Structures are given as structure tokens and as C-alpha cells.
Amino acid sequence: MGAVSMAACYRERSVRSNELFTRRLKCNTLAEEYAKRRSGPARTGLVKYSPTMVDYSDSRDSCVGQFDVVYSHPEPLSDESAIYVVDLGTNEALFDEGCSGDCSDTLGRAQDTMRKYR
């Protein structure tokens, strides 16, 4: 009896692990596609989205991604940075804040947003 229940428990854990892996793989693909769509020429220069953290959100039943965003401007303007968190299923912005210099406070708030939706 004990061996049978152990095998069933192992199978259940294996199925959940495979589902989680599949979801995360899908989320990473969605994040890369989102970054490609959003990056490119902008009104005053170039914009580049780079995914830095991606995960599946049970509470939103969707993928959530955190992106570093760099706006590159021609001289004499300087580059600008932002950190952006988005629901990759609905494209809803969950966090969007620009920063310059030391962005550690902004990064901390973005990571809090990611944790909130895990």
C-alpha cells in the first residue's frame, strides 16, 4: 500500500513539474516575441526592450514579464532607461517607471510587482 501511494505521489509531482516547465518555456517565448515587437525605431531614436525576469502568474492565469527598456537618442540628448512589467497575455502594463543613474529603487519596486503576481 505504501509503495503504491508513493508512486502515485511521484507521478503527480512529475506531471506538475512538466506543466510548470511547459508554462515557463511558453512565457519565455512570449517575452522574447514581445521584446522584438516593441524594440526598434522610435520618434527620437531607438528603443530596446530586454526581458530580465519572466514567470507564469497563477493569480492572473497568464505570463508576466519584466523588461529593461533603453531609449537611445542621437546627440546631444542622453539615453533614458525604464523598467517595465507587463502581463504578456493581455499586454496590460503592471509597472512602468523611468530611471536614470542608480536604478536600484526602481528595480526593487518592479521586482515587488513581479512577486505580487507570481
> What pLDDT is recorded for position 73?
81
CA nearest to 118, candidates 50, 52, 64, 51: 64
Residue 1 reports pLDDT greater than 60: no
pTM exceeds 0.95 for this model: no
CA nearest to 30, candidates 94, 83, 86, 84: 86
Helix (H, G, I), strand (E, B) or coil at 100: coil
Are the C-beta atoms of residues 114 and 64 closer than 8 Å to each other? yes
Confidence of residue 108 (pLDDT cuts 50, 70, 90): very high
Sequence ranges of the domains in the chain: 2-116
Q: Backbone phi, then psi, for 89, in 5-degree steps?
A: -85, -40
Each residue's pLDDT tens digit, 40-72:
998 878 999 999 999 999 999 999 999 999 998
Each residue's pLDDT tens digit, 2-44:
666 766 666 667 777 889 899 999 999 999 999 999 999 988 7
Q: Looking at 1-118, list the stretches that DSSP marks H as alpha helix, in order from N- to C-terminal side.
A: 2-38, 104-116
